[in-house]
Amino acid sequence: MGFYDFTLLDGKGNEVKTADFAGKVVMVVNTATGCGFTPHYAPIEALFEELHEKGLEILDIPCNQFGAQTPGSDDEVHEFCTLHYNTTFPQMHKSDVNGENELPLYTWLKEQKGFEGFGEGQQAEFMNAHLAKIDPDFQNNSDIKWNFTKFVIDREGNVVARFEPTADMDEVCAYVRELVG
């Protein structure tokens, strides 16, 4: 099983095959409309506008598993994103990224790149403290920890990076720019 073997549903219920992204750099990100990290939509959209023609794709997968911060329907999520962040990249159906109903794509992504920590700084300290209350063993599993975790897949379908939501978006964008070339 590899990246190009999955099928997702977009926000309108249409099938999206990851095989359609062969030869492209792909960022897969679980998103939320009411999260402290929601402003990540702005640099993600800017990156998409800058690099889409050079082979970057974004797979936006809204998820309501973290603090119930994506309560709306697929249409409501899409309306929020286009109204507030002018997003133009494809948005998938709101889905689970952890647990028994998680998307098979996320099962695979987490097998490829596990959790390596939140890094340093105030946001990282906050996330560590917050998650320790929810799951004292959170550092020892590959589950998605919060909204806006980003996986980057290279042009050959390999997961080459996992960025937690606390990662500096300038660093994330620089990494993707380098990969797209």
- Name the residue with tokens 């589950």: 143
pLDDT at 26: 98
Phi, psi angles (nearest 5°) of residue 159: -75, 115
- pTM of this structure: 0.97
Percent of the chain with pLDDT over 70: 100
Residue positions annotated with a catalytic role:
35
8 vs 151: CA distance, rounded Å: 16
Strands (E), 6-108: 7-9, 15-17, 25-31, 56-62
170 vs 181: CA distance, rounded Å: 16
pLDDT at 29: 98
Q: What is the mean pLDDT of each run of 10 residues along the chain (181 residues)?
A: 97 97 98 96 98 98 97 96 96 98 98 97 96 94 97 98 98 98 93
* 136-158 pLDDT tens trace: 999 999 999 999 999 999 999 99
Domain count of the fold of the chain: 1
Q: 41: which residues sit within 8 A by CB, 6+ positions away?
A: 31, 81, 84, 85, 87
Domain housing 108: 3-180
Q: Which of 171, 166, 172, 67 is nearest to 122 (CA)?
A: 166
pLDDT at 90: 93
87 vs 78: CA distance, rounded Å: 8
The CATH number of residue 125's host domain is 3.40.30.10
